[in-house]
Amino acid sequence: MQEKMQPETADLFIIGGGINGCGIARDAAGRGLSVILAEQDDLAQATSSASTKLFHGGLRYLEYFEFRLVREALAEREILLSAMPHIAWPMRFVLPLDPAMRFEGDTPTSRLLGLCMPWLKGSRPAWLIRLGLFLYDHLGGRKILPATSRLDLQDDPAGKALKPYLKKAYEYSDCCVQDARLVVLNARDAAAKGAQILTRTRVTGARRAADHWVISTESAAGPRDYRARALVNAGGPWVGQIIRDTLQIPSTEGVRLVRGSHIVTRRLYDHNRSYFFQGPDGRICFAIPYEEDFTLIGTTDQDHQGAPGEARCTEAERDYLCSFASRYFRQPVRPEDVVWSYSGVRPLYNDGAKSATAATREYVLSLDQNGAPLLNVFGGKITTYRRLAEHALEKLLPFFPGARAPWTAGAALPGGDFATDGYGAEVSALQRDYPFLTPFHARRLIRSYGTEARQILGEARRAGDLGQDFGATLSMAELRWLMTREYARTAGDVIWRRTKLGLRLTEDEVAALETAMVQIRAEGATTSAA
């Protein structure tokens, strides 16, 4: 490790402020490395705010025999849950048994079944689902999350919202997470351990010098160069483009971009479990309780041709998701019920040799040692970001012999230092100490900030003490926190990534928010300046 840290020089320079870049930054900074991370836009602007928001093993990846990935992800669920009981929580998934359930025709399981039991070709029988769920329960170890159970939909409240032809279901466990908040909390923890987090700073080029990299960046403050002993390319969907265009390194490695869209409707049913639906086309789709008053439905799976930043939910995708859900729900889901939609692209590893359909869901870390080290990160899931970061550090450690040992398993993220099942108690305690908070406000603050909610509320004794009210419980006190502690710069950062209050605020309220943010930026007290 370098002896004396100069402002423009670091051990590690990371391109990309998604979950993988921020996870690696946090891990590395905690091991004593000096770290600079540059994100061209807002933290979690791209794929890491467009996920289905699950810490999950990925039940359907079992059909592709991706056992290593599924085991790692399953084991991670409880480790992550304990580290962030504010932004993540256990979720039960109801999987109705539908006689029309089909496989995607080219999965290894489908092919195997077609070979051994040709009369079952293409169908996904209930016993196979039970077998999959048995593996799911036992592959990764499970202490907190309850095991799979069987439901009679004619008696269980989960059956009420569904069409009467659905009689039986399985119910299994996974977890929900606020993906964009996960990213910002990793960035904050990295910064607390000494990392520099530069948002709205694009890496425009990088070249190898004798034993280090010289990295050129561009931000509102103008161009600036940095030096680093190692470079990490965590550009997500841009990773291949960065290797070839920004770093000018010839490579066949890249990513296959697969777009996934989600729609959000007003709450479709009145319990707190999710549904796992299977379509006759072999695909699966989730319906998940979202932000208390809404339901999240997704996802689609489409090859994406345009620029990664231009992924949008098309009308065809919206209609597909509506009719998918309407197959199952008693009350049809219509396009006019959709209040919001979003879309992101999965960066799936593609080594240039395999066919696109064989693109694996595994992440791949490739180390280029033709001079100062370059680590390229391909793929990855929100669920496996912490392990991915540990593996990335394992690859880089030979270049930093003084770096400390792995430390992130069991280390709470900011605000997550309370019991894994302590959410309800935290909400009650906050309401007791700040009796002017509405129940919704208290729940929202604990879900977003955990124990740090008290730092936002400070000495406030009445709602007026929190300053301007922007609507939907967003106050000036919270806005200042987001701008001075969480790198928020625009109204979009606040209402779609640090919070999801965009679902509740009116256009006029958002305009007032933007005006206030211009004023705060003019005061210069923000965390996001490059």
Q: Which residues bind ligand FAD (CB under 6 A)?
A: 15-21, 38-41, 45-48, 50-54, 56, 202-203, 234-238, 242, 246, 260, 299, 344-346, 380-383
Report the candidate in 213, 178, 217, 185 with the shortest Cα–Cα distance to residue 198.
217
**CB 11, CB 229: distance < 8 Å:** yes
Please, what is the minimum distance in Å from the beta carbon of residue 407 to ligand FAD?
A: 21
Neighbours of 135 (CB within 10 A): 17
Q: Minimum Å distance from CB 130 to ligand FAD?
A: 23
Shortest distance, position 510 Cβ to ligand FAD, whole Å: 22
438: helix, coil or strand? coil
Assign residue 359 a region (left: φ > 0; alpha: ψ between -120 and 50; beta: otherwise).
beta
Between 93 and 423, CB nearer to ligand FAD: 93
Rounded to an integer, what distance in angstroms lies between the CA atom of residue 179 and that of residue 380?
14
Q: Which is nearer to ligand FAD, 387 or 485 (CB)?
A: 387
Rounded to a whole number of angstroms, the minimum distance from the CB of residue 172 to ligand FAD is 15
| Shortest Cβ 309–ligand FAD spacing (Å) | 7
| DSSP secondary structure of 373-423 | -EEEEE---STTHHHHHHHHHHHHGGG-TTPPPP--TTPPPTT--S-TT-H
How far is residue 470's CA from residue 455's CA, in Å, rounded to a whole number?
19
The least distance separating ligand FAD from the CB of residue 160, rounded to whole angstroms, comes to: 26
38 vs 392, which CB is nearer to ligand FAD?
A: 38
Give, for 430, the enclosing helix (H) or strand (E): helix 423-433
Distance CA 320, CA 341 (A): 13
CB-nearer residue toward ligand FAD: 80 or 437:
80
Closest distance between ligand FAD and the C-beta of residue 144, in Å?
18
Closer CB to ligand FAD, 18 or 415, in the complex: 18
Residue partners of 284: CB distance under 8 A and separation at least 6:
60, 276, 277, 278
Q: Rounded to the nearest whole angstrom, what is the least distance from the CB of residue 166 to ligand FAD in the complex?
A: 24
- To ligand FAD, the closest distance from the beta carbon of 125 in angstroms equals 26
b/e sequence 2-36, b meaning 16+ C-beta within 10 Å:
beeeeeebbbbbbbbbbbbbbbbbbbbbbbebbbb
Q: Considering beta carbons, is residue 39 or 104 the nearer one to ligand FAD?
A: 39
Taking the C-alpha atoms of residue 376 and residue 183, their distance in angstroms, rounded to an integer, is 19
Compare residues 140 and 380 and give the one whose CB is closer to ligand FAD.
380
Instruction: State phi, psi for 230 to the nearest 5 degrees.
Output: -145, 150
Write down the least CB distance from residue 274 to ligand FAD, Å.
11
Partners of residue 257 on adjacent β-strands: 347
Nearer Cβ to ligand FAD (60/346): 346
In what helix (H) or strand (E) does residue 364 lie, and over which residues does it extend? strand 364-368
Give whichever of 55 and 329 is closer to ligand FAD, judged by the CB atom.
Answer: 55
**Is the link from the previous residue into 109 a cis peptide, with omega within 30 of 0?**
no
With respect to ligand FAD, which residue has the nearer C-beta, 188 or 504?
A: 188
Q: Please report, to the nearest 10 degrees, the dihedral formed by the alpha carbons of residues 317, 321, 323, 326 taken in order.
A: -170
